DNA sequence: CCCTAACAACTACACCGTAAGCCTGTCAAG
DNA sequence: CTTGACAGGCTTACGGTGTAGTTGTTAGGG
C-alpha cells in the first residue's frame, strides 16, 4: 500500500448546482429510491458527507430537484387567451411530470412550492385575473385544474404496466380476478384487452374542466 | 432480578386483524412515518419480528391499512342515478382520505387496489354502464373523477397550515415573498387573508366534471 | 515557500426492514 | 400425568438510511 492514492485530484468540482444536477440524473436513471446521500456521493466520486457543504440535507436536495422539474414547464405568455394559457400550463406540467416519474410523489411531500413553480403559478393567476375572473373564482379554477393535472398524472404513472404489452398475463388476470364477482370491472378489463387500446386521455378531463370554467366565465 | 417476568402472559393476542388495526391507529395518531415495525411492535407490547408471523412484511401492512381506509367509503347503491352515485362515491372517498391524512400518499404507492376499493369501483362502473355510457366513456369519466378526488385531496392536505390561524405570520409572508415580483399571487394572498376566508370547495371541481359528463351523456 | 481557510473524508450514532435461528407456552394424544 | 409437536414470540445480525462531529488534506494567497 505504498500508493498514497490521490483519489481526489480535483477539489474544486462540487457546487449546489452540480449536486442537484447529479441528483436529478440519478433519480431519472435509477429511480427516486436510489437517491441516497451515499449513492449520490458515489455517483459524483465523493463521500456522502461532502455533499453537506453544498446542500443543507436530503430535504434540500429534494426541494432542489423538484424545482428543476418545474423549471421545465414553459411559463405561459401574458397575452394568451386565458383558456389557452391554462391549457398549455396544464399540459406542460403533465409532460414534465411524465418525464420524471418520481417527481409527482416528491412534489407532494414538499411544503412550499419552489421558485419555478411560483413563477408559473403567478403567470396563470395573472392571466385569469386579467380575463375578468373574480379572485375566488381564480382560486377555484386554478385548484380544479391543478388537482386534475396532479391526480391524473399520479394515476397514470401507477398504471400497472401497460396491459397490452403482455396480453396473456392480462387475460389471465382479468379472468381470475374479476371472474364473476365484478361484472362492471370485467367489462373494463375486456376493453383494455381488445382493440388497439383506448388510452385514457389527459385532455379529456382537462377539457371538461375548462368547458365548465368557460361557462362560468361567460355567465359571470 | 429474581423475577422471571412472564412478560407475555396472554399468547393468543396477535392476529392479522389486530396488527392492521394497531397499524392504522398508529398511523392516525403519530403519522405514517412513525409506522415502523419496531414502533408498531412496541405499541402492541411485542417485538418487531413477532409481527411477521401474522403479516408478510411492511408492504403487506401498508396494503392492509390502505384497504381499511377504502373500506370506510360507502359503496353506492346500484339503483342510484349515475350522477348521484358518482358524486357520493367521490365525496365519500374524499372524506375518508381526509380522515386519514397519510392515506393518499400510501394509496399512491400501492400497485394493486385492495378488495374494498375494487368493490366500490365495480359498483360505480356498473352504474355508469347501466346508465348508457359506452365502455370507453366509463373509463374516461371514472378516471376524470378519480383524478380530481385524489389530486384535490393531496393539494388540500399539503396546504401550508391554515393561513387564517395565524394572520400575522401570513401577512408578513404575503408581503415579503410576493412583494412586487408576483402581482397575481399577491392578489390571491390578499384573498386568503381578508374576509371570512373562501375555502376552495372540493365540490366545485367535481361538479364541473359531472356537468361535463352530463352533457356528454345526453349528447351521446 | 508557507499559512490558512475551505472542504473532502472519516467515524459514529440512531434508526430502518427483515432473514435465520432459538426458546417456550400451549395443547392434544397416549 | 407425561410427552411431543408446534405455533408464535424473542434474539441476533446484516446491510441499509440520514446526518452530527471530528479529522485530515489541499488549493491559493501572501
A111 touches strand D (CB under 7 A): no
Task: Using CA coordinates, name the residue in chain A closest to B188.
Answer: A135
Q: Report the residue from B124, B185, B198 with minimal CB separation from A122.
A: B185
**Cross-chain residue pair A187–B121, CB shorter than 8 Å:** no
pLDDT at A9: 42
**Cross-chain residue pair A213–B209, CB shorter than 8 Å:** no
A63 in Cβ contact with A24 (< 8 Å) = no
CB proximity list for B3: less than 8 A, separation 6 or greater: none
Task: Determine the angle formed by the axes of helices A202-219 and B202-219, rounding to 10 degrees.
Answer: 100
pLDDT at A182: 86
* Residue predicted with more confidence, A187 or A196: A187
A57 touches strand D (CB under 7 A): yes
Query: What whole-number distance in Å separates Cα of residue A220 and Cα of residue A140?
Result: 14
Residues of A in contact with B215 (CB under 8 A): 211
Residues by Cβ under 7 A, strand C: A 7-8, 11, 13-14, 41, 46-47, 49-50, 53-54; B 6, 8-12, 35-39, 48-49, 52, 57-59
pLDDT at B7: 39
**Cross-chain residue pair A204–B148, CB shorter than 8 Å:** no
* Residue predicted with more confidence, B193 or A42: A42
Per-residue pLDDT of chain B (220 residues; tens, 9 = 90+): 333 333 334 455 789 999 999 999 999 999 999 999 999 999 999 999 999 999 999 999 999 999 999 999 999 999 999 999 999 999 999 999 999 999 999 998 888 889 999 999 999 999 999 999 999 999 999 999 999 999 999 999 987 655 555 666 666 666 666 666 788 888 887 777 665 555 668 999 999 999 999 999 998 7
Query: What whole-number distance in Å separates Cα of residue A174 and Cα of residue A190?
Result: 8
Q: Which residue is nearest to nucleotide D8 (CA to C1')?
A: B53
Minimal CA separation from B166 to chain A, in Å:
17
**Cross-chain residue pair B160–A212, CB shorter than 8 Å:** no
What is the nearest nucleotide to A44, using C1' and CA?
C8
Question: Which single residue is written with the C-alpha cell 490521490?
Answer: A6
pLDDT at A158: 85
DSSP conformation class of B42: H
pLDDT at B6: 39
As ranges, strand D nucleotides with an atom below 7 A of a protein CB are 7-12, 16-21, 26-28
As ranges, strand C nucleotides with an atom below 7 A of a protein CB are 7-11, 15-21, 25-27
Query: What whole-number distance in Å separates Cα of residue A213 and Cα of residue A138?
Result: 10
Q: Report the residue from B150, B185, B200 with minimal CB separation from A151.
A: B150
What is the nearest nucleotide to A59, using C1' and CA?
D18
In window 11-40 of A, residues with CB < 7 A from nucleic chain D are: 11-12, 35-39
Average confidence (pLDDT) over A187-208: 78
Q: How many CB atoms lie within 10 A of CB B163?
A: 17
CB proximity list for A212: less than 8 A, separation 6 or greater: B207, B208, B209, B211, B212
| A8 burial level (CB within 10 Å; 0-12, 13-18, 19+) | exposed
* pLDDT, tens digit (0-9, with 9 covering 90-100), for A104-136: 999 988 888 899 999 999 999 999 999 999 999
Minimal CA separation from A49 to chain B, in Å:
24
pLDDT at A7: 39
pLDDT beyond 50 at A172:
yes
Amino acid at each position: 500500500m505504498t500508493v498514497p492514492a490521490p483519489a481526489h485530484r480535483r477539489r474544486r468540482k462540487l457546487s449546489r448546482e452540480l449536486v442537484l444536477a447529479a441528483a436529478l440524473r440519478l433519480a431519472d436513471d435509477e429511480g427516486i429510491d436510489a437517491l441516497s446521500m451515499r449513492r449520490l456521493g458515489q455517483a459524483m466520486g465523493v463521500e456522502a458527507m461532502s455533499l453537506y457543504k453544498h446542500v443543507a440535507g436530503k430535504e434540500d436536495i429534494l426541494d432542489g430537484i423538484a424545482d428543476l422539474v418545474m423549471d421545465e414547464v414553459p411559463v405561459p405568455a401574458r397575452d394568451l387567451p386565458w383558456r389557452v394559457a391554462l391549457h398549455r400550463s396544464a399540459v406542460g406540467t403533465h409532460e414534465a411530470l411524465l418525464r420524471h416519474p418520481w417527481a409527482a410523489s416528491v412534489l407532494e411531500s414538499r411544503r412550499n412550492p419552489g421558485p419555478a413553480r411560483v413563477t408559473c403559478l403567478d403567470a396563470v393567476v395573472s392571466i385569469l385575473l386579467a380575463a375578468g375572473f373574480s379572485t375566488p373564482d381564480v382560486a377555484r379554477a386554478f385548484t380544479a385544474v391543478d388537482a386534475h393535472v396532479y391526480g391524473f398524472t399520479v394515476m397514470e404513472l401507477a398504471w400497472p404496466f401497460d396491459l397490452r404489452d403482455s396480453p396473456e398475463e392480462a387475460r389471465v388476470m382479468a379472468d381470475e380476478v374479476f371472474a364473476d364477482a365484478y361484472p362492471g370491472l370485467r367489462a373494463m378489463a375486456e376493453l383494455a384487452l381488445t382493440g388497439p387500446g383506448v388510452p385514457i386521455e389527459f385532455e379529456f378531463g382537462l377539457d371538461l374542466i375548462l368547458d365548465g370554467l368557460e361557462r362560468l366565465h361567460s355567465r359571470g
